[in-house]
Structure 1
């Protein structure tokens, strides 16, 4: 039998709490003052929700609204899950942004959701807030929150045809200074649209989100600096990464080999 484990994880983004759990414990009925979004890592559970009794399994997204009475019991053995709890003001502010001022508050209507795209966004958000690797963590978190809430809050948003020059300007800004800090709010303001509209348009035109694009530009800078003879530690700092290990992980994920191996070609 696995021991009952519920851990609060330190986060780097204000207004969010993170919890990691692995347990066969049956939780009694209770409520939270925050919105909750979670991901079932393994196992399954049944729970009471505002929509009645529901069941969730590994890979599912689970949600809870502030003040919503719920519980949770394992199905067939222990289950593991991760939860992020959001201050009401943060969610309402994001909903207002997504709806372009039309919705001031919203509740989650799906206590259990099977959606691989939302699950991927949740994992991105979770690691962005618990790892907090450099200035890009906030950009990654803002993007993921927008994408998750646009699906969970079921807000109908008309896609605007953003002029390509607005996207080009944002890309040029990151091209010219890839190591510089940038926020989704700043990029959207420069394009004259909401953060959510900018995010969708940038992804449609560029094939990746602003966060992913900025990381790629930093990795290109890394290759340039290493080929110029800069040490790996200095390269990581100059290119805007939190540390050398952060740079190495992303470098390997993109190219399949380490910056150290790449550096050998330039000695």
Structure 2
């Protein structure tokens, strides 16, 4: 009996906040890729099932335990192979995005990879998380932070020739200054580039410094400031929607998501519990 092909779809879009960055979500049951190449740097991670790919004269598997990386203009092909399904997410960085990434990471040269597959569970989760956040498109600060953290880790661990990433800063005064800016301007649309420039750091250096000095990433710290501001507003009787926007969240649903993640209850439950 012939199998009905219910999953053979793909969705491709350009990220408006990072020129040269595109994303793909694909769900295939029968598709095969002929030999081809991209002018972009490609990272792909499987969510379900898997496939076979061929590159550099060898065949390997693209499963949930494998991160795929292809340098620009590197030929490769793919086929369904052993699995009846392949659902994966891909990131494509053309020259403008690569240059943006190099500047933010403090790289003196573009990274090159001598292998196409890496069995690195932390990186797989990092790139899946990055892609899903880009798909949501509701938090530019978190998007940029995850972009730099995931690619920074990939390059540090697996790029050829040990490319020179800018060393992390160890300056308590700089960290304190960034925290002060965040406290004063938490409701604004802050960026890692802006915060780093204020203390003479690249965005990647800022992330490393902040994590070491506070135990949190810049986005996590900023989220906590915004949650505290929202709670203060809710305590004054401000509506949940207004409290979310006044605190700097994208919308009420963003506040609810972070509120529940941090406190285990929704803003509405908090309001109801404190009403008496």
Q: Could you state the TM-score of these two structures normalised by the residue count of structure 2?
A: 0.87
Separation (CA, whole Å) in 2 of partners of 1:46 and 1:88: 28
1:102 aligns with 2:102: no
Quickly say closer, same or farther: Cα 1:58–1:34, change in 2 above 3 A. same
1:113 aligns with 2:118: yes
Separation (CA, whole Å) in 2 of partners of 1:139 and 1:245: 17
Separation (CA, whole Å) in 2 of partners of 1:253 and 1:216: 11
Quickly say closer, same or farther: Cα 1:30–1:76, change in 2 above 3 A. same
1:6 aligns with one of 5, 10, 34? 10
Unmatched segments (≥5 aa) in structure 1:
none
Unmatched segments (≥5 aa) in structure 2:
none
User: 1:51 offset after TM fit, Å?
Assistant: 6.8
Q: What is the aligned-residue RMSD (CA, Å)? A: 2.0
Count residues with an aligned counterpart: 262
Quickly say closer, same or farther: Cα 1:18–1:101, change in 2 above 3 A. closer
Q: Show the counterpart of 1:48.
A: 54
1:184 aligns with 2:192: yes
Q: Show the counterpart of 1:243.
A: 251
After the TM superposition, list the runs of 4 or more consecutive aligned residues in structure 1 that deviate by more than 6 angstroms: none
Q: Deviations over 1:60-118 (max 9, x none)?
A: 321222211111112232111011111222113322442x3522x22333322222322
Separation (CA, whole Å) in 2 of partners of 1:168 and 1:246: 27
Q: Which has the larger displacement, 207-216 or 189-198?
A: 189-198
User: 1:259 offset after TM fit, Å?
Assistant: 0.5
Q: Could you state the TM-score of these two structures normalised by the residue count of structure 1?
A: 0.89
Separation (CA, whole Å) in 2 of partners of 1:16 and 1:161: 28
